[in-house]
């Protein structure tokens, strides 16, 4: 599956998109674990102090935010084509 990374995440991984292969039945949480395994520096950008997805990060599964999915980060990624990860940005 394609994972799009935006803003401050791009320099961490060195690309605006990465391809991630996960086993059948993998969840959003499994995807996060894989991203953090490959790029440990993403941890400070994606997770809060408890190790959960930060409320300042928007993670979209085929265009739908995980906060509004019935199972949140436990949502299965079977059949998903794209995930996009947007960190909080500031400025004006």
Q: For 67-90, what is each residue's pLDDT tens digit?
A: 899 899 999 999 999 999 998 776
CATH number at residue 13: 3.10.20.30
Q: 39 is in which domain, residue-wise?
A: 2-86
pLDDT the model gives residue 76: 95
Query: Residue 20: inside a domain, yes or no?
Result: yes
82-86, strands of its sheet edge to edge: 17-19, 2-5, 82-86, 58-61, 64-65
**What is the value of pTM for the model shown?**
0.90
Q: For 3-47, what is each residue's pLDDT tens digit?
A: 999 999 999 999 999 999 999 999 999 999 999 999 999 999 999
Query: Residue 79: inside a domain, yes or no?
Result: yes
Q: How many domains does the chain have?
A: 1
β-bridge pairing 82-86 and 2-5 = parallel
Residue 20: name the closest of 4, 41, 43, 40 by CA. Answer: 4
Query: Residue 35: inside a domain, yes or no?
Result: yes
d(CA 68, CA 13): 27
Query: Residue 53: inside a domain, yes or no?
Result: yes
Whether residue 17 contacts residue 5, with contact meaning beta carbons closer than 8 Å, is answered with yes
């Amino acid at each position: 599956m394609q994972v799009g990374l935006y803003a401050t995440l791009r320099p961490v991984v060195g690309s605006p998109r990465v391809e991630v292969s996960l086993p059948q039945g993998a969840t959003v949480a499994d995807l996060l674990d894989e991203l953090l395994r490959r790029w440990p520096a993403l941890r400070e950008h994606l997770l809060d102090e408890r190790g959960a997805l930060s409320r300042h990060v928007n993670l979209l599964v085929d265009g739908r935010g995980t906060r509004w999915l019935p199972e949140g980060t436990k949502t299965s990624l079977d059949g998903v084509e794209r995930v996009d990860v947007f960190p909080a940005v500031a400025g004006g």
